[in-house]
């Protein structure tokens, strides 16, 4: 059950699209939305605001007033009527602000906006957004444009059917049931990691044997890369959403291996839901 939703916002069109989806989910679950804005002040002002100084600088007050005005404009939107929305401002960097808010407010899911396949460009849409996907313990739902999340009929979840992915697969299954969407489990076969159909089906069935899930399809899809396979398979079934787990690789491991979750989030036109293994 989703009770607390975090929506980071830079007050952009994409962030508003994410907030609209959060509102849909909040209404269904009687959930609270925590609307977080990262106020990136100049260093000397940020230090004043976080030091507990009794008299913040006039410039800092101006920043705060501007942010509050933006919040008021957002809160006045019809789609938020009847929903408890908590305004939050953080003076930390984006990643720490989001992670701290998750911990303080017992967040169940992060919903954030993104530009389309052109890549991440805005405050929450650059390396910062990728860091959130990579490091968040909570599921992260990335929204590209306005959509009715409850009109999603087909939900593709890509998995390698390893046991470590079971919790994420079950979470994806629960999400698909909440949307009343058909779950399509897909294994992407590539030349570098080629497995025969027999091997793949044996691994699929072995993992699913002790899971209490039903009404799903099992699929093997061949492509030149796992990322392209996920995107192309989702297109082939006209999926309304893609789900994927991420290991959250850091440092040199991330540099060498990249992050499939981040790549899919970056290039997919559809909403993408990521789960941390």
- The tokens describing 74, both together, are 């957002």
Phi/psi for 189 (5° steps) reads -95, 125
pLDDT of 121 > 50? The answer is: no
Q: Are 55 and 131 contained in the same domain?
A: yes
Mean of the per-residue pLDDT values of the chain: 85
Residue with more model confidence, 267 or 211:
211
Q: Are 44 and 77 contained in the same domain?
A: yes
Last residue of a domain, one of 143, 175, 201: 143
User: Looking at 34-38, 202-206, 253-257, which range is the least confident one?
Assistant: 253-257
Q: Are 193 and 254 contained in the same domain?
A: yes
Please report the pLDDT score of residue 55 as a whole number. 53
pLDDT of 123 > 80? The answer is: no
For residues 153-177, give the mean pLDDT: 94
pLDDT of 43 > 70? The answer is: no
Model confidence at 131, in pLDDT bands (50, 70, 90)? Answer: confident
Please report the pLDDT score of residue 48 as a whole number. 52
Residue with more model confidence, 42 or 265:
265
Q: Are 165 and 97 contained in the same domain?
A: no
Q: Are 203 and 121 contained in the same domain?
A: no
Q: Are 189 and 65 contained in the same domain?
A: no
pTM (whole model) above 0.85: yes
- pLDDT digit string, tens, across residues 230-263: 999 999 999 999 999 887 655 444 334 457 877 8
Q: Are 130 and 53 contained in the same domain?
A: yes
The DSSP 8-state label assigned to residue 31 in this structure reads: P
CA distance 29 to 68: 27
Model confidence at 130, in pLDDT bands (50, 70, 90)? Answer: confident
pLDDT of 117 > 50? The answer is: no
Burial class (CB in 10 A: 0-12, 13-18, 19+), 238: exposed
For residues 24-40, give the mean pLDDT: 92
Q: Are 132 and 92 contained in the same domain?
A: yes
User: Looking at 65-74, 111-120, 159-168, 196-205, which range is the least confident one?
Assistant: 111-120
Number of structural domains (the chain) is 2
For residues 39-45, give the mean pLDDT: 58
User: Looking at 2-16, 31-45, 47-61, 117-131, which range is the least confident one?
Assistant: 117-131
CATH of the domain at 30: 3.40.50.620
Q: Are 174 and 272 contained in the same domain?
A: yes
- pLDDT digit string, tens, across residues 53-73: 555 556 666 767 778 788 888
CA distance 247 to 53: 40
Last residue of a domain, one of 117, 143, 169: 143
Last residue of a domain, one of 121, 143, 165: 143
Which residue range(s) make up the domain with 178?
152-276
H-helix segments, the chain: 13-29, 43-50, 58-75, 94-104, 127-135, 166-179, 197-208, 226-236, 251-257, 260-267
H helix or E strand, kind and range, residue 9: none
């Amino acid at each position: 059950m989703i009770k607390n939703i975090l929506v980071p916002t830079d007050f952009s069109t994409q962030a508003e699209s994410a907030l609209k989806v959060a509102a849909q989910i909040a209404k269904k679950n009687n959930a609270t939305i925590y609307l977080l804005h990262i106020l990136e002040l100049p260093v000397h002002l940020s230090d004043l605001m976080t030091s507990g100084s009794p008299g913040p600088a006039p410039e800092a007050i101006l920043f705060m007033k501007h942010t509050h005005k933006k919040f008021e404009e957002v809160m006045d939107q019809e789609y938020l009527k009847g929903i408890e929305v908590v305004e939050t401002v953080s003076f930390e960097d984006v990643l720490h602000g989001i992670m701290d808010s998750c911990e303080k407010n017992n967040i169940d899911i992060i919903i954030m906006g993104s530009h389309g396949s052109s890549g991440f460009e805005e405050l929450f849409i650059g390396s910062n957004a990728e860091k959130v996907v990579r490091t968040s313990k909570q599921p992260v739902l990335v929204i590209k444009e306005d959509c009715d999340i409850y009109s999603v009929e087909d939900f593709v979840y890509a998995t390698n059917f390893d046991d470590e992915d079971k919790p994420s697969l079950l979470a994806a299954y629960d999400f698909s049931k909440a949307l009343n969407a058909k779950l399509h489990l897909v294994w992407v076969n590539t030349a570098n990691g080629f497995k025969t159909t027999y091997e793949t089906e044996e691994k699929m069935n072995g993992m699913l044997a002790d899971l209490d899930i039903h009404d799903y399809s099992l699929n093997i899809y061949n492509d030149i890369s796992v990322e392209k396979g996920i995107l192309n398979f989702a297109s082939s079934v006209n999926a309304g959403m893609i789900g994927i787990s991420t290991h959250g690789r850091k440092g040199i491991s991330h540099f060498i291996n990249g992050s499939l979750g981040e790549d899919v989030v970056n290039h997919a036109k559809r909403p993408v839901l990521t789960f941390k293994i």
